[in-house]
Structure 1
Amino acid sequence: MSESDGSGGAEYGEVALALAAVAALVVAAALLPGAGLGGGGMDDGERGTPAATGTPGAMATPEGGGERPGGASAGGQLPGGSPSGVPLSQPPERTRIGSTQGFEGELAQTPQFVVEGPENTYWRQTAYATYTGSSWASSPRWRSIAEGVPNDARTVDGRAMDYRVTLLVPSSSLPTAWQPSGVELPNASAGVEASTVGGVRATTRLPAGTDYLARSAAPPSDPSTLRAAGTDYPDRIAERYTQLPEATPDRVGAFTDDLTAGDETPYDEAVTVRDWLKKKPYSLNASHEAGEPVADQFIFEMESGYCQYYATSMVAMLRTQGIPARYVVGYAPGERVGEEEYLVTADRGHAWVEVFFPGTGWVRFDPTGSGRLPVQNPQPPYDISLNRSAVAGAPVSISVAKNGSPVVGAPVEINDERVGWTGAEGTVTTRLPYAAEFTVTARPPDAATKYDGGANETTADRWAGGPMLPARGETAGHADRAASPALPQRAAPAPNGSSRTYRSDTNVTLAVEGTPVAGGGTTVRATIRDVPVRGATVTLDGERVGRTGPDGRLGVSLADVSPGTYRLAARREAVNATTTIRVYAAGTTPTPAAPPPVNLSVSAPLLPLPGGSATVTTTRNGTPVADARVTVGGAESGQTAENGTLGVSLPVAGSAAVVARAPDGASARTTLPLARNAGVVGAVALGGLALLGRAARRRGLTPRSAGRAAATWLSRLVAWTAAACVRAADRLVAAGRALRRGLRHLAGLPGRLATSGLAALAALDPRALVGWLRRWLAGLLARAESAATATADSTGVNPPSATGTADDDEASTATIRDLWREFVAVVAPPRVTTRTPGEIARYAIERGLPAPPIYALTEAYRDAEYGRLAPDADRLARAREALRTVREAMGGGTE
């Protein structure tokens, strides 16, 4: 076969395909018992969806979901409504329930939004109606909120509240308290829409720092009112919100029938179901088996769970009783951080239940049990830094880090005043105080979580009627919100934290713009470097004339001021400045006062030399002068930066004049003696060479001997380089010959591999291969069991490890699992890969096997598998004895 006949590629491909097929069969056979193949089936929503095995903390809405309102996630994956760590974005139309793997990590307390209002309640995003067994789905319709928020029933007059929400991360979803009756963006940056399930969103993705105003009214939640609501449900509500998948086992309804047998009203049934679910322990390290309805598994098989499991199970149980219920996602109440101000972080992402009552509407029930979340809470010391030099009154970004990683959700204080919480990048934006010195303190993020308890759901939120929403464009005293999303608040004492103290630049420049003329007016401007002094009190000869605005300016009226000289002062806290102004009579032409002089200095690494570089620095009374024009040798070089410096190139000349002219006309000049500096440097260099020559002569080194030594060294270097090149060429030639021989040998290999490989594949019976692998694995398990039994029989107990640590527990757990596998093989129930331990035990007892040893073995396996009790030698011995009894009852003898 030649290299150019075009057939080599095809034969190589056939061989690769054959080898890949064999490898796939082997892997599939090895994984067959654990994959559930051949027994049961997966929900259509799970089949082929990698997100089904995501951890709780990783199940989030799709990236950029806020830009695709109501859309599914990219790639067809269905993000789960995480118990915590849910990012604030537009919720998808379909969301997974729980996870097939436990979660053992920590959740970030990333700040999501701040609420200012009279009540710290649940913050709702959307609701889901369709339960598939493994996920929740909804396709709500959206319309402008100007048409009203769709409500299925009435609310209580007078129980409404107005509140303001500030987004701390970009989002299009707008969380609200239930039920919203109005949402308004004061700056009209986007439209607002409401959905048929009561969700609210903006028509475009909103940036962090966006405020919106909302009003919400609570449905009646008085028990007597809800008990009297009856069961006259509208057809559309009953049809949509009592749906259950066909795969829901009958035992869910039968169990709920028994649990609520003594209840007379739907409200009482809802309370009974909620209270029963609350008794289950809460844990993020919970998971379910793929392919079976989640609610059924949580009710009967799972020992613990988190909010998604609780809420899904309550909805399913109520729907078996014909009670309309739906699944809701959003955020649990936040942490109080100020007077009527609450911070909501990502770990408070939550799921709960809403139940429909005729004449009332949807009422919230939260069945989640209590528990604490494993939140990320890095402890001090922290690294604190500013993004600029410290200038009194300057806007600044404060960064908090731990070992180079940002600290998220840390409260930050300046001089004991809380200015906000670090966001996802570990920064918070604020404005520095008008003080000569200030201290920045970062406290650890609060470890409190949403599952530490809460109010009884039968108690109504204590909302009070308040003032109407501010009119569009009003900010209700929040003029600085864009610069700092969280309002400064007095910080609560904290046991620890990290602090860093800075000294601020407080040198104020007080300037008068224009000519002060009696009977007219003038403008005063106060700045520190480039930063305006805002809100400074200005006095003229001790009489207050006003306060500077955001740009540091104040218009001063001179209507009642006579010509003369006056003392002008500006002060704000520790920042103050005083100057003298002259007020001229009307009609006079004042002689402009000379601006204060500018100081000029030039520095270089050694000395300013011809053709070298240097740095020009301009100052005035110790303060850098920015935007000063600099010329060197008559040529324009540029303008000084904010710190008053400019790098310049020096001409090749005997001297150069450097001139700096400030924006107000003041100038400074200096002349650089470039030729003299060059002479000094040359003299120093010649002196150094003379010293080196003298030292060489003392050592007997002459120019002739030095030349001979250099020539000898250079010839040796050339000879060594040539020899190395010859050796490298020889090795390349030898390698080429070996490669050619190898290619000749491999030329016929693809044909032989393709012929033999395809023949082997044609003769391969997958069923025989699977059978052989199962027999081989069974032999391995039997030999391991025999060895473990011999050791236990000789010592009376399982031999402990030398350390007695968790390795012993792991070894015992593996042995009990082996006993359980052997028991399952003896009983041989149908669809073994999808049956739970309880179902297998009941199947064995129904066949006539003795119940006590079966229950003992089942409980031992559950304890080992779910970690309820640590395995030990005594429990292992009892499990082995139980298996012997079952074998004897089956007529199979003992081990």
Structure 2
Amino acid sequence: MSESDGSGGAEYGEVALALAAIAALVVAAALLPGAGLGSGMGGGERGTPAAAGTPDATAAPGGGERPGGATGGQLPGGSPSGVPLSEPPERTRIGSTQGFEGRLPQTPQFVVEGPENAYWRQTAYATYTGSSWASSPGWRSIDEGVPNDARTVDGRAMDYRVTLLVPSSSLPTAWQPSGVELPNASASAGVEASTVGGVRATTRLPAGTDYLARSSAPPSDPSTLRAAGTDYPDRIEERYTQLPEATPDRVGTFTDDLTAGDETPYDEAVTIRDWLRQKPYSLNASHEAGEPVADQFIFEMESGYCQYYATSMVAMLRTQGIPARYVVGYAPGERVGENQYLVTSDRGHAWVEAFFPGTGWVRFDPTGSGRLPVRNPQPPYDISLNRSAVAGAPVSISVAKNGTPVVGAPVELDGERVGWTDAEGTVTTRLPYTANLTVTARPPDATTKYDDGATETAADRWADGPILPARGGASIYADRAASPTRPQRAAPAPNGSSRTYRSDTNVTLSVEGTPVAGGGTTVRATIRDVPVRGATVTLDGERVGTTGPDGRLGVSLADVSPGTYRLAARREAVDTTTTIRVYAADTTPTPAAPPPVTLSVSTPLLPLPGGPAAVTTTRNGTPVEGARVTVGGATAGTTAANGTLDVSLPVAGSTTVVARAPDGASARTTLPLARNAAVVGGVALGVLAVLGRAARRRGLAPRSAGRAAATWLSRLVAWATAACIRAADRLVAVGRALRRELSRLAALPERLATRGLAALSALDPRVFVGWFRRWLVGLLARGGSSSGDSTRSGLRAARAVADDDGASTATIRDLWREFVALVAPPRVTTRTPGEIARYAIDRGLPAEPIDALTEAYRDAEYGRLAPDADRLDRARAALRAVRETLGGESG
């Protein structure tokens, strides 16, 4: 028996060692991409700093997940997640190599007040690399003019005001901007325009900044654009017809055939735009890294989002010698009031501008209209405050519909607009000094993300609204700058939800210190824990000043005689009066002891050694802020505004918790930690005793329990082994991608790029995993002889996983790789799945199984259909047929 016990102990020790090795291998595989060996070099995969953008937020030039944006860096254009407004960088990636099934954030960015809801342009890009767009615009003072600003029609222009809701230096404008002013910015802030028509401030502007702009409408009459001709300036034609050498010839050939019947560049642009609009719109779209994006979208991809549409149209126009560029900004916003439009982060967009001689750059949007509905839930709404209603208190107002936040809803307090709800459905403001207040939330009006016209004339001109004639004068905005935008009276809305609160206006007026004639004192006005700001304070009816942001006011008693006086404070509906006694200098009374405080300690179960606890300090039911808390003689911190502080209890038999208020009042309590631990331990032992008795009654002996544990442990080891194999395959793929990318870096010495990468490729983790798998199966086989029938069944499961040829761990991607290895086409890294399939069929292999395998791979790789068991079985059968055909040929 002792030998058996001893061998069992050795067996479990070896299994523990094996599990530790498996965990180390998995951790190493997870850390390799994070160390720069993963997809960060591949082209816009989600999770990398250069790929945290949004498909239709390409225009939102910010840092994506990087706070504050990045000037001159990578514009996130990879994964679909909304990005904040900031200055556009010089390079932006196109699309993503991974699909997206989430929901775009709808963070409010800015509000436009003007006659039209336009496309809000930020910058343009000229250089197409196949996987990204790049531009290096020059900047100059806007006083020197905006490029293209003189090419307008009949002097048509519109004036509008933009209010930033987030900090930014980028200033979105309608095309074509002719002037921008910052009437309420600091004197150091200036405005610059770029050579590609972007506008920015020279300093980062805070949220709430307004700027006034004038934009001129570009020509939109088709007859004018058809008559523009093709006499392009040399610099325009050279820069904006560039295509990378890797662009396949089939892009130009297909575009030639598509536009064969068109006579003018304008007609060709309309034909290309309309053809692209026929492709389905989807955020869950992705492309293969290493191949030109436009070529993939035109010929291989089933759907896409704005980056793919715009990039493809620019590439197709350039194959026809038509200058075109890639533009980013925001699609039209949601109407939130009369002539007011809210633009949120999910409306970031990309489109195309084509050049026409004598006219300039004209917008084309190949993404189409109504592709991405914006689901704005309609009233009734659930409106709530994050605290009780207290006059003058800062609050967050939440608007929800059936538990889901409502984004972009205009919120009013007593009829005054205070803002729009953010991505969490909240807006922050300060309650008015009224006894009753009404909170109203109204729905956004927009129904689609894009408000583009169905025809070219509607897409490239101002919509139905008034067109303002151009004006002269020292300031083109003099008539608009005189009318402030805040506070705003909310425009009437057809519907909405309201909730009325009764606000607490009971003011406590206190005097800090002892009032002494000839000296001074400090008066403080509060409602609960909220200071009363800007309240007028009077002493016997004579005004002595107003309270500051903390509700305090220093009052001089230099000309006040000893005696009793009436002290009052008033602001709107908040009004209170009290009496104070002013003492003579030689009769100052001894200060009274401060009112006592109450201390309570709460824990999840019982106060236990080393456990967490919350210390709460109150005075007459009101939380005490700033009370210093000590636990066991050590200072733990001070209480927050709610009078609470989270602490950790010491490991001791007992401890004393003391809380001392700012005015010196204190309270204490002693916690019996050891006694509580004994109680909890006794209860736990009792539960174990009951469970043990129940186990014995059911015949569960310790040895049989050990066998069951061994069975589950063997299954866990089998699963971990399979996971290691999948991790090894991923490591190999990452190593190959790394080798491919590093080989393109011309700056690396040839010797390092060849010998170093050869050494790296030799370190194939699959060699180690294969050895480790064989060792582990042998180990489990040895241990199985002493573990009973149940353990042997677990070992058989482990061997089945280890020896399986792919039935349980292989994926469709693995089957496709084996198929490509069997076919061995030339230039495999540059061929699409369809081209590889056609190559195999041309070699005489059966078409039906090859088509089935190719379709399964496309479904799984591009996210169209989930690779379930049935599709995996069909893919295996197809590969088996290919193997048998090749085996027959070799025989």
Q: TM-score, normalised by structure 1?
A: 0.58
* 1:481 maps to which of 482, 485, 494: 485
Q: CA deviation at 1:442?
A: 3.9
Q: CA contact under 8 A between 1:812 and 1:873: conserved in structure 2? A: no
CA, structure 1 residues 634+309, in 2 after alignment: closer, same or farther (shift >3 Å)? farther
Deviation at 1:237, TM superposition (A): 0.4
CA contact (8 A) 1:182 1:216 kept: yes
Distance 1:70-1:116 versus aligned 2 partners, 3 A rule: same
Matches within 5 A, 1:155-554: 155-187=152-184, 189=186, 190-369=189-368, 370-372=370-372, 381-385=382-386, 389-390=390-391, 398-400=396-398, 409-415=408-414, 418-423=417-422, 428=427, 437-442=436-441, 448-451=447-450, 454-459=453-458, 460-462=461-463, 464-466=467-469, 468=471, 471=475, 476=480, 481=485, 484=487, 487-494=489-496, 499-503=499-503
- 3-state SS, counterpart of residue 270 of structure 1: helix
Of all paired residues, the percent bearing the same amino acid is: 67
Distance 1:259 1:619 in 2: 72
Provide the C-alpha distance between the structure 2 equivalents of 1:490 and 1:770, rounded to a whole number of angstroms: 68
CA contact (8 A) 1:597 1:620 kept: no
Asked if structure 1 preserves the Cα contact closer than 8 Å seen for 2:336 and 2:445, the reply is no
Q: Give, in angstroms, the shift of residue 232 of structure 1.
A: 0.5
Question: Compared with structure 1, are the counterparts of its residues 407 and 161 closer, same or farther at alpha carbon in structure 2 (3 Å cutoff)?
Answer: same
Query: In structure 1, the residue corresponding to 2:298 is in which secondary structure?
Result: helix
Q: In 1, Cα distance between the equivalents of 2:244 and 2:135?
A: 15
Gap change, CA 1:491 and 1:626, over 3 Å in 2: farther
Report the Cα distance in structure 1 between the residues aligned to 2:209 and 2:845, rounded to whole angstroms. Answer: 68
Look up the match of 1:86.
83
Superposed CA offset, 1:160-199 (max 9, x none): 1111111111111111110011111223632111111111
Distance 2:139 2:391 in 1: 49
Q: Deviations over 1:608-658 (max 9, x none)?
A: xxxxxxxxx9999993249968669977799xxxxxxxx96479xxxxxxx
Q: Within 5 Å, give how 1:543-692 maps onto structure 2.
A: 598=566, 623-625=575-577, 649=593
Aligned residue identity for 2:851: Y
Closer, same or farther in 2 for the Cα pair 1:360/1:436, shift >3 Å? same
Hey, what's the Cα distance between the residues in 1 that align with 2:876 and 2:50? 36
Q: Does residue 50 of structure 2 align to residue 56 of structure 1?
A: no
**Cα gap change, 1:439 to 1:842, in 2 (>3 Å):** same
Unaligned runs of 5+ in 1: 1-18, 508-527, 534-550, 552-594, 601-616, 639-646, 652-716, 718-763, 781-809
Count of matched residue pairs: 615
Structure 2: which amino acid aligns with 1:358?
A: P
- Check if 1:846 corresponds to 2:849: no
CA separation in 1, counterparts of 2:760 and 2:268? 54
1:788 aligned partner: none
**Shift in Å, 1:856:** 3.3
State the distance in 2 between where 1:635 and 1:98 align. 80
| Cα distance in 2 between the residues matched to 1:250 and 1:831 | 16
Question: Following the alignment from structure 1 to structure 2, what is the Cα–Cα distance between the partners of residues 458 and 620?
Answer: 54
Q: Report the CA distance between 1:350 and its aligned residue.
A: 0.8
Distance in 1 of aligned mates of 2:169 and 2:384: 33
Map of 1:820 onto structure 2: 816
Matched to 1:297, the amino acid is: Q
Secondary structure, aligned partner of 2:853: helix
Which SS does the other structure have where 2:468 is aligned? coil
Greater shift in the superposed pair: 819-828 or 232-241: 819-828
Q: CA shift at 1:206, angstroms?
A: 1.5
**Is the 8 Å Cα contact of residues 260 and 273 (structure 1) preserved in structure 2?**
yes
Superposition deviation, residue 352 in structure 1 = 0.7
Read off the aligned partner of 1:489 and give its amino acid letter.
Answer: A
CA displacement 1:113-141 (0-9 Å, x = unmatched): 11111111101111111112222111111
Query: Cα gap change, 1:827/1:477 in structure 2, threshold over 3 Å: closer, same or farther?
Result: closer
Higher-Rg structure is 1
1:366 Cα deviation from its structure 2 partner: 0.6
Contact kept, 8 Å, 2:435 with 2:573, in 1: the verdict is no
Letter in 1 for 2:886: M
Displacement of 1:249 after TM fit?
1.7
Aligned-partner Cα distance in 2 for 1:435–1:49: 48
Counterpart of 1:307, as a letter, is: C
- Would the aligned equivalents of 1:598 and 1:620 in 2 still touch at CA under 8 Å? no
How do 1:14-53 and structure 2 match up within 5 A? Answer: 50-53=48-51
Contact in 2 for aligned 1:348/1:449 (Cα 8 Å): no
* Conservation of the 8 A alpha-carbon contact between 2:352 and 2:364: yes
Tell me, what secondary structure is at the counterpart of 1:355? strand
State the TM-score, normalizing by the size of structure 2: 0.58
CA contact (8 A) 1:118 1:161 kept: yes
Whether the aligned pair in 1 keeps the contact of 2:351 and 2:364 (CA below 8 Å) is yes
Distance 1:831 1:362 in 2: 40
How far apart are residue 319 of structure 1 and its match? 0.8
Assess if the C-alpha contact under 8 Å between 2:46 and 2:52 holds in 1: no
For residue 476 of structure 1, report the CA deviation from its aligned partner: 4.1
Post-superposition shift, 1:860? 3.4
Residues 434/173 of structure 1: CA separation in 2 closer, same or farther (3 Å cut): same
Contact 2:112 2:162 in 1 (8 A): yes
Tell me how far apart the structure 2 counterparts of residues 618 and 478 of structure 1 sit (CA, whole Å): 32
Contact 1:175 1:200 in 2 (8 A): yes
Aligned to 1:125: 122
User: What does 1:96-111 correspond to in 2, within 5 Å?
Assistant: 96-111=93-108
Q: 1:191 to 1:635 in 2, by over 3 A?
A: farther
Distance 1:358 1:26, change over 3 A: same
- The verdict on how the C-alpha distance between 1:841 and 1:211 changes in structure 2, with shifts beyond 3 A counting, is same
CA distance in structure 2 between the aligned counterparts of 1:253 and 1:93, rounded to whole angstroms:
27
Are the structure 2 counterparts of residues 366 and 63 from structure 1 closer, same or farther at C-alpha, using a change threshold of 3 Å?
Answer: closer
Name the SS for the 2:308 alignment partner: helix
2:449 aligned counterpart, secondary structure: coil
Q: State the AA in 1 paired with 2:842.
A: E
Q: Distance in 2 between matches of 1:154 and 1:478?
A: 29
Q: Is the 8 A contact 1:186 1:475 kept in 2?
A: no
1:71 matched to 2:63: no
- Aligned-residue offset at 1:397: 5.7
Contact kept? 1:213, 1:469, Cα under 8 Å: no
Worse-matched range after superposition: 138-147 or 451-460: 451-460
